[in-house]
Amino acid sequence: GQQLNQSPQSMFIQEGEDVSMNCTSSSIFNTWLWYKQEPGEGPVLLIALYKAGELTSNGRLTAQFGITRKDSFLNISASIPSDVGIYFCAGQLSGTYKYIFGTGTRLKVLA
Amino acid sequence: DTAVSQTPKYLVTQMGNDKSIKCEQNLGHDTMYWYKQDSKKFLKIMFSYNNKELIINETVPNRFSPKSPDKAHLNLHINSLELGDSAVYFCASSQTAASYEQYFGPGTRLTVT
Protein backbone atom coordinates (compact mmCIF):
# COMPACT_ATOMS: atom_id res chain seq x y z
CA GLY A 1 0.00 0.00 0.00
CA GLN A 2 0.94 3.64 -0.28
CA GLN A 3 2.93 5.34 2.44
CA LEU A 4 4.44 8.72 2.86
CA ASN A 5 8.17 8.89 3.48
CA GLN A 6 8.71 10.71 6.74
CA SER A 7 12.09 11.75 8.11
CA PRO A 8 13.82 11.53 10.37
CA GLN A 9 12.59 8.23 11.79
CA SER A 10 13.56 9.27 15.29
CA MET A 11 15.13 12.20 17.09
CA PHE A 12 16.70 12.64 20.49
CA ILE A 13 17.01 16.30 21.38
CA GLN A 14 17.70 18.49 24.37
CA GLU A 15 14.91 20.50 25.93
CA GLY A 16 14.78 23.94 24.36
CA GLU A 17 16.03 22.86 20.95
CA ASP A 18 14.05 23.30 17.76
CA VAL A 19 12.89 20.26 15.80
CA SER A 20 12.15 19.82 12.12
CA MET A 21 10.61 16.85 10.34
CA ASN A 22 9.21 16.37 6.87
CA CYS A 23 7.12 14.16 4.63
CA THR A 24 7.61 13.54 0.95
CA SER A 25 5.69 11.60 -1.66
CA SER A 26 5.55 11.00 -5.37
CA SER A 27 1.79 11.65 -5.28
CA ILE A 28 -0.08 14.94 -5.15
CA PHE A 29 -2.16 15.68 -2.06
CA ASN A 30 -5.09 18.03 -1.51
CA THR A 31 -4.65 18.34 2.24
CA TRP A 32 -1.78 17.73 4.62
CA LEU A 33 -2.31 16.96 8.27
CA TRP A 34 0.09 16.58 11.17
CA TYR A 35 -0.81 14.36 14.13
CA LYS A 36 0.84 13.50 17.43
CA GLN A 37 0.43 10.12 19.09
CA GLU A 38 1.31 9.49 22.72
CA PRO A 39 1.78 5.98 24.14
CA GLY A 40 -1.46 4.05 24.55
CA GLU A 41 -3.54 6.66 22.78
CA GLY A 42 -4.83 7.46 19.35
CA PRO A 43 -3.35 10.20 17.16
CA VAL A 44 -4.46 13.77 17.85
CA LEU A 45 -4.59 16.39 15.10
CA LEU A 46 -2.10 19.25 15.50
CA ILE A 47 -2.25 21.21 12.25
CA ALA A 48 -4.18 21.03 8.97
CA LEU A 49 -2.99 22.54 5.68
CA TYR A 50 -5.21 23.08 2.65
CA LYS A 51 -3.32 25.03 0.00
CA ALA A 52 0.05 24.68 -1.68
CA GLY A 53 2.53 27.04 -0.04
CA GLU A 54 0.37 27.52 3.06
CA LEU A 55 2.25 28.12 6.30
CA THR A 56 0.26 27.58 9.50
CA SER A 57 1.19 27.84 13.17
CA ASN A 58 -0.29 26.35 16.30
CA GLY A 59 1.60 27.64 19.33
CA ARG A 60 5.18 26.42 19.04
CA LEU A 61 4.32 24.30 16.00
CA THR A 62 4.61 25.50 12.43
CA ALA A 63 3.81 23.46 9.35
CA GLN A 64 3.98 24.15 5.63
CA PHE A 65 2.25 22.64 2.60
CA GLY A 66 4.87 22.21 -0.13
CA ILE A 67 4.44 24.16 -3.35
CA THR A 68 4.54 21.00 -5.44
CA ARG A 69 1.79 19.52 -3.19
CA LYS A 70 4.00 16.48 -2.70
CA ASP A 71 5.60 17.38 0.61
CA SER A 72 5.13 19.06 3.96
CA PHE A 73 7.25 19.90 6.97
CA LEU A 74 6.60 20.43 10.67
CA ASN A 75 8.75 22.52 12.98
CA ILE A 76 8.57 22.52 16.76
CA SER A 77 10.33 25.40 18.46
CA ALA A 78 11.77 25.41 21.97
CA SER A 79 10.90 21.78 22.65
CA ILE A 80 9.68 20.71 26.09
CA PRO A 81 9.49 17.24 27.65
CA SER A 82 5.78 16.85 26.90
CA ASP A 83 6.54 17.09 23.17
CA VAL A 84 7.63 13.45 23.40
CA GLY A 85 5.63 11.18 21.13
CA ILE A 86 5.31 9.99 17.56
CA TYR A 87 4.48 12.62 14.97
CA PHE A 88 2.68 11.55 11.81
CA CYS A 89 1.98 13.41 8.64
CA ALA A 90 -1.07 12.41 6.64
CA GLY A 91 -1.99 13.44 3.13
CA GLN A 92 -5.35 13.31 1.42
CA LEU A 93 -4.93 11.82 -2.02
CA SER A 94 -6.24 14.01 -4.80
CA GLY A 95 -9.70 12.85 -5.93
CA THR A 96 -10.31 10.62 -2.90
CA TYR A 97 -11.42 10.85 0.70
CA LYS A 98 -8.54 8.64 1.74
CA TYR A 99 -5.69 9.77 3.96
CA ILE A 100 -2.27 8.15 3.67
CA PHE A 101 -0.16 8.31 6.81
CA GLY A 102 3.56 8.85 7.03
CA THR A 103 5.91 6.40 8.67
CA GLY A 104 6.18 8.55 11.80
CA THR A 105 8.93 10.48 13.59
CA ARG A 106 9.62 9.37 17.13
CA LEU A 107 10.64 12.36 19.22
CA LYS A 108 12.37 12.12 22.57
CA VAL A 109 13.21 15.24 24.54
CA LEU A 110 15.93 15.10 27.18
CA ALA A 111 15.39 17.46 30.08
CA ASP B 1 -17.76 12.20 27.83
CA THR B 2 -15.44 10.18 25.62
CA ALA B 3 -15.83 11.27 22.00
CA VAL B 4 -14.75 8.04 20.30
CA SER B 5 -14.72 4.91 22.42
CA GLN B 6 -13.63 1.40 21.62
CA THR B 7 -14.10 -1.91 23.39
CA PRO B 8 -12.22 -3.86 24.41
CA LYS B 9 -8.99 -1.97 25.08
CA TYR B 10 -7.01 -5.22 25.01
CA LEU B 11 -7.88 -8.50 23.33
CA VAL B 12 -5.77 -11.65 23.57
CA THR B 13 -6.99 -14.64 21.65
CA GLN B 14 -5.81 -17.76 19.88
CA MET B 15 -5.34 -18.34 16.19
CA GLY B 16 -8.46 -19.47 14.43
CA ASN B 17 -10.87 -17.69 16.76
CA ASP B 18 -13.44 -15.11 15.68
CA LYS B 19 -13.55 -11.80 17.53
CA SER B 20 -15.25 -8.41 17.34
CA ILE B 21 -14.17 -4.91 18.26
CA LYS B 22 -16.79 -2.24 18.87
CA CYS B 23 -16.60 1.48 18.28
CA GLU B 24 -18.99 4.26 19.21
CA GLN B 25 -18.80 8.01 18.67
CA ASN B 26 -20.99 10.57 20.41
CA LEU B 27 -19.93 13.51 18.23
CA GLY B 28 -22.80 13.29 15.78
CA HIS B 29 -20.36 12.63 12.96
CA ASP B 30 -21.42 11.05 9.68
CA THR B 31 -18.22 9.19 8.86
CA MET B 32 -16.31 6.50 10.74
CA TYR B 33 -13.08 4.64 10.01
CA TRP B 34 -11.03 1.63 11.02
CA TYR B 35 -7.25 1.86 10.95
CA LYS B 36 -4.62 -0.77 11.68
CA GLN B 37 -1.32 0.18 13.34
CA ASP B 38 1.35 -2.50 13.19
CA SER B 39 4.31 -3.09 15.46
CA LYS B 40 6.39 -0.55 13.52
CA LYS B 41 3.65 2.04 14.13
CA PHE B 42 2.62 2.18 10.46
CA LEU B 43 -0.96 3.43 10.41
CA LYS B 44 -3.09 2.24 7.54
CA ILE B 45 -6.74 2.77 6.72
CA MET B 46 -8.87 -0.35 6.37
CA PHE B 47 -12.47 0.81 5.99
CA SER B 48 -14.63 3.89 6.09
CA TYR B 49 -18.39 4.25 6.42
CA ASN B 50 -20.41 7.36 5.69
CA ASN B 51 -23.95 7.29 7.09
CA LYS B 52 -23.79 3.50 7.30
CA GLU B 53 -22.57 3.17 3.72
CA LEU B 54 -19.14 1.69 2.95
CA ILE B 55 -17.05 4.29 1.08
CA ILE B 56 -13.49 3.08 1.57
CA ASN B 57 -12.56 -0.58 1.43
CA GLU B 58 -8.84 -1.10 1.23
CA THR B 59 -7.11 -4.32 0.30
CA VAL B 60 -7.95 -6.15 3.48
CA PRO B 61 -8.51 -9.92 3.82
CA ASN B 62 -12.19 -10.75 3.64
CA ARG B 63 -11.86 -12.27 7.11
CA PHE B 64 -12.32 -8.66 8.22
CA SER B 65 -15.91 -7.48 8.02
CA PRO B 66 -17.02 -4.05 9.22
CA LYS B 67 -20.60 -3.44 10.23
CA SER B 68 -22.30 -0.13 10.89
CA PRO B 69 -25.71 -0.59 12.54
CA ASP B 70 -26.13 3.19 12.71
CA LYS B 71 -23.93 6.16 12.03
CA ALA B 72 -22.72 6.34 15.64
CA HIS B 73 -21.39 2.79 15.64
CA LEU B 74 -18.86 0.92 13.53
CA ASN B 75 -17.86 -2.57 14.56
CA LEU B 76 -15.12 -4.76 13.19
CA HIS B 77 -15.51 -8.52 13.09
CA ILE B 78 -12.51 -10.70 12.35
CA ASN B 79 -12.87 -14.37 11.43
CA SER B 80 -10.22 -17.07 11.69
CA LEU B 81 -7.67 -14.86 13.39
CA GLU B 82 -4.04 -15.20 12.29
CA LEU B 83 -0.79 -14.24 14.00
CA GLY B 84 -0.33 -11.39 11.51
CA ASP B 85 -3.56 -9.79 12.68
CA SER B 86 -1.84 -8.77 15.91
CA ALA B 87 -1.82 -4.98 15.92
CA VAL B 88 -3.51 -1.97 17.43
CA TYR B 89 -6.82 -1.19 15.73
CA PHE B 90 -8.03 2.40 15.85
CA CYS B 91 -11.50 3.64 15.19
CA ALA B 92 -11.92 7.26 14.09
CA SER B 93 -14.72 9.56 13.06
CA SER B 94 -15.09 12.80 11.12
CA GLN B 95 -17.95 15.25 10.62
CA THR B 96 -18.33 14.23 6.99
CA ALA B 97 -16.36 12.14 4.51
CA ALA B 98 -14.82 15.36 3.17
CA SER B 99 -13.84 16.66 6.62
CA TYR B 100 -10.13 16.79 7.26
CA GLU B 101 -10.19 16.32 11.01
CA GLN B 102 -10.52 12.77 12.22
CA TYR B 103 -10.99 12.05 15.91
CA PHE B 104 -9.34 8.81 16.94
CA GLY B 105 -10.38 6.38 19.63
CA PRO B 106 -7.89 5.03 22.19
CA GLY B 107 -7.23 1.86 20.19
CA THR B 108 -7.71 -1.87 20.75
CA ARG B 109 -4.54 -3.88 21.13
CA LEU B 110 -5.18 -7.29 19.57
CA THR B 111 -2.73 -10.08 20.32
CA VAL B 112 -3.15 -13.37 18.52
CA THR B 113 -1.24 -16.30 20.01
Whether pLDDT at B2 is above 80: no
Yes or no: say if A110 and A45 are a contact pair by the CB < 8 Å rule.
Answer: no
User: What integer pLDDT is reported at residue A90 of this predicted model?
Assistant: 94
Which of B11, B26, B19, B2 is closest to B106 using CA atoms? B2
Query: Which residues from chain B sit within 8 angstroms of residue A98, using beta carbons?
Result: 45, 48, 56
Q: How are beta strands A55-58 and A61-65 bridged, if at all?
A: antiparallel
DSSP label of B59: S
Whether pLDDT at B12 is above 60: yes
Kindly provide the b/e burial profile for residues B35-66, where b requires at least 16 CB atoms within 10 angstroms of the residue's own CB: bbbeeeebbbbbbbbbeeeeebeeebeeebeb
| CB within 8 Å: B42 and A104 | yes
Whether pLDDT at B63 is above 90: yes
Yes or no: say if A99 and B102 are a contact pair by the CB < 8 Å rule.
Answer: yes
Which residue in chain A is spatially nearest to B47 when comparing CA positions?
A98
CA distances from B24 to A6, B4, B95, B100, B101 (A): 31, 6, 14, 19, 17
Higher pLDDT, B98 or A67: A67
